[in-house]
């Protein structure tokens, strides 16, 4: 009876929204409650990756007039239009590494309910939130080195509040927390829907490479792990500190992103930053390093970053499709030749993942 009287997480969010108009003040309060160690644990993963990146990051102003491609995903369902959509995806993966998808099939209510659920989750005190924020996951020895490096490296001034979930399985309800009350139900629906869109895209990418539609899914374990990062980027108050997330590439198979209506995401194109303007109802998709490895660099995992807004809070939900640990990461045979030799040695995903972060920490 008591449980029936409790508000679901969506109902709670709707009920409390009027009392929490100033999200910026709320996030500032929560951030103040974190001690230095908690802040380092939250941002260190990204800071290490950015600090030790060997990819040069230009400081030029934004490139005006360029937009990432927009692809109508409903075209994949038509026998006559599928080939056109597959070709569009191939072109976007090769030339940009980023694209919008529209008509993806995820109902607006599913996305709205997830935003509301996370709105409640971010109001949980940090020490309570840490009980179910289980990311990022790295091997213990890497974490030890990372912790030591954090104390000697420069601070990057990233200003955001982040919750991470690693190794989510949307088909395993117990793998998704139910704190605060009612969080699990909208999360299951949301992550299943997002993962299914990811599967459709992986099928199209496989076809674009001349392979069977199931190829990449099978090569990455058929039912890959899902990691998720939920960021809230605070407005900046210092013109010299406008970075929300440092430049980086995603070490996954494919990333799907839902962002609020405030701009901030930027991608690197021909040594210039291009702003990814919010497109209502769309998802942002970007190629991960796994697909880049499969294609021997034909498809690109590109540098991207998140910038702060001067006046408004910006939010995003990222879903990362990852291979299973035993998946073999290697170029497709027909994309390798004497003129185009393999750029990476064949290895398991577990080894690839470990070596990636180990190399950054040397």
* Mean pLDDT value across the chain: 81
- Each residue of 253-272: pLDDT tens digit? 999 999 999 999 999 998 89
Structure confidence at residue 238 as a pLDDT band (50, 70, 90): confident
pLDDT at 147: 57
pLDDT of residue 339: 92
**Percent over 90 (pLDDT), the chain:** 53
- Convert the pLDDT of each residue in 328-348 to its tens digit: 999 999 999 999 999 988 999
Q: How many domains does the chain have?
A: 1
Q: How many CA atoms lie within 13 A of 46 on its CB side?
A: 27
pLDDT number for residue 63: 74
Q: What pLDDT is attached to residue 113?
A: 96
Q: Is the pLDDT of residue 286 over 90?
A: yes
- Kindly indicate the confidence band of residue 43, based on its pLDDT and cuts at 50, 70 and 90: very low
Other C-beta atoms closer than 10 Å to the C-beta of 191 total: 23
Tell me the pLDDT band of 22, cut-offs 50, 70 and 90: very low
Going edge to edge, which strands form the sheet with 98-102? 70-72, 98-102, 283-287, 254-259, 314-322, 225-233, 160-168
Any idea what the CATH number is for the domain that residue 268 is in?
2.60.120.330
Band (pLDDT 50/70/90 cuts) for residue 190 is very high
**Residue 225: Cβ-neighbour burial (10 angstroms; 0-12, 13-18, 19+):** buried
pLDDT tier for residue 360 given thresholds of 50, 70 and 90:
low
Say which residue the tokens 């962002």 belong to. 259
> Does the pLDDT of residue 200 top 70, yes or no?
yes
Percent of the chain whose pLDDT exceeds 70 = 74
- Report pLDDT for 215: 96
**Beta carbons within 10 angstroms of residue 118's beta carbon:** 21
Roughly what angle, to the nearest 10 degrees, separates helices 82-95 and 184-208? 90
* pLDDT for the residue numbered 148: 59
Report how far apart, in Å, the C-alpha atoms of 144 and of each of 139, 148, 215, 235, 279 are.
Answer: 9, 6, 37, 32, 41
d(CA 166, CA 164): 7
pLDDT of residue 40: 43
Q: Write down the pTM of the prediction.
A: 0.81
The CB-side HSE value for 41 (13 A sphere, CA atoms) comes to 16
Across the range 154-180, mean pLDDT stands at 75
pLDDT beyond 70 at 134 = no
Query: How much is the pLDDT for 20?
Result: 44
Assign 327 a pLDDT band (cuts: 50, 70, 90). Answer: very high
**Average of per-residue pLDDT across 117-128:** 84
Mean pLDDT value of segment 147-175: 69
Q: pLDDT value at position 242? A: 87
Q: Is residue 287 predicted with pLDDT exceeding 90? A: yes
Which of 30-34, 188-192, 214-218, 220-224 bottoms out in mean pLDDT, i.e. has the lowest? 30-34
- What confidence tier does 169 reach under pLDDT thresholds 50, 70, 90? confident
Task: Name the band, by pLDDT with cuts 50, 70 and 90, for residue 81.
Answer: very high
C-alpha closest to that of 199 among 292, 118, 319, 115: 319
Q: Which domain holds residue 325?
A: 2-360
C-beta neighbour count of 115 within 10 angstroms = 17
Task: Compute the distance between CA of residue 341 and CA of residue 257 in angstroms, rounded to an integer.
Answer: 33
pLDDT tens digits along 268-279: 998 899 999 999
155: pLDDT strictly greater than 50: no
């Amino acid at each position: 009876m008591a449980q029936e009287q409790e508000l679901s997480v969506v109902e709670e969010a709707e009920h409390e929204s009027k009392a929490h108009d100033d999200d910026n003040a709320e996030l500032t309060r929560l951030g103040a409650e974190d001690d230095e160690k908690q802040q380092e644990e939250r941002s260190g993963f990204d800071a290490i990756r950015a600090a030790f990146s060997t990819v040069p990051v230009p400081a030029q102003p934004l490139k005006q007039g360029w937009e990432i491609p927009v692809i109508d995903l409903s075209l994949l369902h038509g026998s006559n239009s599928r080939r056109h959509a597959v070709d569009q995806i191939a072109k976007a993966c090769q030339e940009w590494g980023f694209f919008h998808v529209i008509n993806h099939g995820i109902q607006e209510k599913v996305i709205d309910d997830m935003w509301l659920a996370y709105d409640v989750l971010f109001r949980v005190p940090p020490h309570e939130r840490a009980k179910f924020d289980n990311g990022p996951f790295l091997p213990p020895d890497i974490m030890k080195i990372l912790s030591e490096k954090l104390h000697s490296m420069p601070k990057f001034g990233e200003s955001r509040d982040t919750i991470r979930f690693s190794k989510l399985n949307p088909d395993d309800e117990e793998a998704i927390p139910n704190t605060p009350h009612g969080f699990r139900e909208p999360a299951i629906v949301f992550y299943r829907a997002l993962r299914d869109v990811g599967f459709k895209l992986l099928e199209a990418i496989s076809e674009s490479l001349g392979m069977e539609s199931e190829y990449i899914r099978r090569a990455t374990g058929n039912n890959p792990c899902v990691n998720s990062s939920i960021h809230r980027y605070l407005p900046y108050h210092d013109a010299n500190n406008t970075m929300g997330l440092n430049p980086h590439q995603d070490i996954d198979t494919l990333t799907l992103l839902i962002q609020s209506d405030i701009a901030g995401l930027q991608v690197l194109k021909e040594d210039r930053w291009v702003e990814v303007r919010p497109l209502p109802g769309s998802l942002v998709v970007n190629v991960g390093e796994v697909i880049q490895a499969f294609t021997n660099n034909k498809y690109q995992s590109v540098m991207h970053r998140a910038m702060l807004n001067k006046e408004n809070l910006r939010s995003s939900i990222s879903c990362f499709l990852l291979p299973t640990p035993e998946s073999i990461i290697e170029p497709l045979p027909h994309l390798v030749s004497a003129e185009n030799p393999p750029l990476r040695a064949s290895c398991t995903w577990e080894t690839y993942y470990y070596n990636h972060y180990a190399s950054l920490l040397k």
